Amino acid sequence: MRYLVYPLALLGIIFAAGMAGCDTAQETPQPVAPETSRDDTGETPGAAQREVPDPDAAEAEPELVEESAAVADESQSDNQPILLAQDDVAEPAGDWKFSEGRQFHRLVPTQPTVGGSDKIEVAEIFWYGCNHCLDFEPYINRWAANKPSDVRFVRIPAMWNPLVKLHGQLYYTEEVLAKNGKIEDAEAFHDAVFSEYHRRGNRLTTEKAIQGLFERHGVSADDFQTTWKSFEVAQKMRVAEDLARRYAITGVPAVVVNGKYRTGGAEAGGYPELLEVINELVAREAAR
């Protein structure tokens, strides 16, 4: 979309802003201790700014803080090493529709993945507070429900600042509780967290607010606290922070295929197109 006339240029700028996603320069509300009160909105770029009270935030709204680039935690445990993706080999020949440097970027060298090399891994990096991630949910959910049998889909929460990390801890707590049978429908709970933030206006800025959400969905206080403070959740968070740095994630939603290719809605030109890019990148890996 090049600006042939001024109105077309303006429309192009507006479209690009809408597809850019939530990036590290965007402001988000800072988690606060129960006795501290701060204020601001925490909305993403392009979204209408509105203040909605946090049910658990007593008398004031949390303060927004600028996101910083994710930095790896040097204390990562050796008990659960990240598994390397498949080794780099020559790019398979083929009549491909999408181009490196345009619709996707190649990560050199190939980076680790969450799971093993038995399947092609497609990882979505997201944040519950990002309204672009909310918009992308129905697309990626439909894709995941019909993905090939040799593909593994995983979610990796962003880890840019204290609030985003708090929501990452929320995600891994729900993941572990679902694995242990304490949450019956993991996908329904995942959707409920998005709804809590974007529709009910609960910014989930404190552990107390997050625990209240889990309790409303049938998780006991003891089960929540045991999982929330567990080594398993802490380790998952360290891996997520390390991968965000390795993948050079600067905005969400982002998708990384097999630790080798990174793409997103802005690069692809839209979410339907993004799914096409993902499918082609999976096909490239399958052809190796």
Predicted local distance difference test score (pLDDT) of residue 35: 46
Predicted local distance difference test score (pLDDT) of residue 160: 92
Among 134, 81, 136, residue whose Cα is nearest residue 255: 136
Per-residue pLDDT averaged across 19-43, rounded? Answer: 57
Q: What backbone phi and psi angles, to 5 degrees, belong to 10? A: -65, -45
Per-residue pLDDT averaged across 230-248, rounded? Answer: 98
Report which of residues 210 and 93 the model is more confident about: 210
**Class assignment of domain 66-286?**
alpha beta
Where do we find the tokens 């991630």?
A: 133
- Segment 163-191, tens digit of pLDDT: 999 999 999 999 999 999 999 999 999 99
* Cβ-Cβ contacts under 8 Å for 271 (sequence gap 6 or more): 135, 136, 139, 265
Residue 9: pLDDT band by 50, 70, 90 thresholds?
A: very low
Give the H or E element holding residue 125.
Answer: strand 120-126
Report which of residues 116 and 13 the model is more confident about: 116
Q: CA–CA separation, 121 vs 256, rounded Å?
A: 8
Locate 121 and state its tokens. 């891994």
Report which of residues 60 and 226 the model is more confident about: 226
Least-confidence region, from 18-22, 79-83, 120-124, 163-167? 79-83
Predicted local distance difference test score (pLDDT) of residue 23: 79
Q: Could you tell me the pTM of the whole model?
A: 0.74
Predicted local distance difference test score (pLDDT) of residue 26: 60
